[in-house]
Amino acid sequence: MAEPETPNADNPAAAADGAEPQRVLNQDEIDTLLGFDAKKEGDARSDGIFAILDKSITAYEKLPMMEVVFDRMVRSLSTSLRNFTSENIDVSLHSMTSIRFEDYLNSIPLPALLIVFRAVEWENFGLVTVDSSQIYSMVDILLGGRKSNRPVRIEGRPYTTIEQEIVKRMVDIVLSDMGAAFEPLSPATFHYERLETNPRFATISRPSNPALLVKFRVDMTDDRGGIIEILLPHTTLEPIRDLLLQMFMGENFGQDTVWEKHLGRELRSTKVEVEAVLREKMLTLKDIMSLKVGSTVLLDCSPDDDVTLRCGGISITTGSLGKVEDHIAISIHEPIKPKVKEQ
C-alpha cells in the first residue's frame, strides 16, 4: 500500500486546497524587476519597470521638423552672440532628448538661473537654463575679465544682480533667434516672463508630462563656454504638432498638385446624366396603387412652362422646352447655380 502524501510545509494553504504551490519572488528578483539592481553601474532607471515607463517618453512622438528648426537657430544664434560679445563664438546643437518635466527639474544643479518664457501664439510656456560655466564666461567677456586658458572656476554662491541682468539679455537674444527659426514653419513669438533661482518655482507643466530638452554647446575663446538648455513641454508644441511631423519644410500631407490638375481634367470630361423635369406632383399611395394601363395623371402646367434641369437630384438651372430639327431641345434661361454649402 502506498503511503499518503504529506502536505507541503512551504505552502500549507495551497496544499490543503489541492492547488499547485506558487513560487514567491525573492528580494533580488523584485529589485531586478523594479530596476533597483545595485550591481549594475550607470542609470538605475534603465532597467525594469522604469524602462517600460520611460519608453513612452522616448517614443512619445518623433518630430523631424524640430531638427530643421534648431539647425536654423544654431546658425543665427552664433552670429547674434558674436555681435553681442564682439568675440569669436561657435554654437552647436549638443543633443535633443525627451524627458519628464520632474526629472529635468531634479537634474538642475544649484545655484541655477531659470528663465520662464511665454510662447504668445501657442499660449503656453517654456524654460531656458544657462549653466554656471556659461554665465561666468559671459560675465568675464562683457566686463573685461582676464583672459586665461584655465577653466572657469564654478562658485557655489548665489548669482548677483549684474549676472542676472547679463543672463536676461543673453536669453532675450536666444528667444529672438528661436522665434526667427520657427517663422518659416509657423509664426512664433517668445517673450521673457520671469527669472527664477529655485527650480520648484519654475514649474510650468505637470511633473509627469513629457517635454523636449534641447541643449546647445557654446564655445568661446580661451576654452570658455558652457551649455544653454531649452525645455519645451509637449503641451506647448501641441498647436503645431502636425507641422512638426513633416519630413521637410513645406510638406503638405494628402495634397499633390500634379494629381489635383489631372483629377480636375478628368472630372471635366466625365459624362453625367442630366434630367429635364417639367413638373412634379404629389400622389397618395392609394392613388398610385389604383393606376392602371391607360390611366392619366394630370400635371398643373402647360407646354410653355419652364423646365427644371437636374443632375444627381440637384436643380442646376431652368429652361424652355423646344425642338431642333427632329430632336427635343431645352433653351437654358439662367446660368448654372453653384451648390450653396450648409452652415
The residue out of 206, 222, 244 marking a domain boundary is: 244
pLDDT band at 343 (very low <50, low <70, confident <90, very high): very low
Whether residue 232 lies inside any domain: the answer is yes
C-alpha distances out from residue 127 to 75, 109, 162, 209, Å: 21, 15, 21, 14
Final residue of a domain: which of 244, 264, 285?
244
pLDDT at residue 5 is higher than 60: no
Name the band, by pLDDT with cuts 50, 70 and 90, for residue 256. Answer: low
Predicted TM-score (pTM) of the model is 0.58
Q: Are residues 171 and 209 in the same domain?
A: yes
Q: Give residue-wise pLDDT tens across range 314-338.
A: 888 888 888 888 888 888 888 887 7
Q: What is residue 217's predicted lDDT score, i.e. its pLDDT?
A: 92
Same domain, 32 and 147: no
Residues 54 and 70 in one domain: no
State whether 37 and 101 are in the same domain: no
Residue 208 lies in a domain: yes
Same domain, 119 and 161: yes
pLDDT of residue 330: 85
What Å distances lie between residue 258 and 249, 255, 261, 281, 304, CA to CA? 19, 9, 5, 47, 47
Range of the domain at 209: 64-244
Report yes or no on 174 lying in a domain: yes
Structural domains counted in the chain:
2
112 shares its domain with 125: yes
Same-domain pairing of 129 and 150: yes
Strand partners, 323: 328
Nearest to 175 by CA among 119, 216, 227: 119
In this model, does residue 251 exceed pLDDT 70? no
Residue 162's domain is classified under what CATH number? Answer: 3.40.1550.10
Beta strands (DSSP E) in the chain are 90-100, 113-119, 124-130, 190-196, 210-219, 225-233, 274-277, 306-311, 314-324, 327-332
Mean pLDDT estimate for the chain: 78
Tell me, yes or no, whether 32 and 111 share the same domain: no
pLDDT at 128: 93
Q: For position 168, what pLDDT does the model report?
A: 92
Tell me: do 198 and 240 sit in the same domain.
yes
> Is residue 55 one of the residues assigned to a domain?
yes
- Do 168 and 184 fall within a single domain? yes
DSSP structural state of residue 125: E
The whole-number pLDDT of residue 298 equals 82
pLDDT tens digit sequence for 281-305: 888 999 889 888 988 888 877 777 8
> Are 77 and 162 part of one and the same domain?
yes
List, in order, residues 6 or more apart from 99 with CB less than 8 Å away.
57, 210, 211, 213
pLDDT in tens, 127-166: 999 988 888 888 888 887 666 555 555 556 788 888 899 9
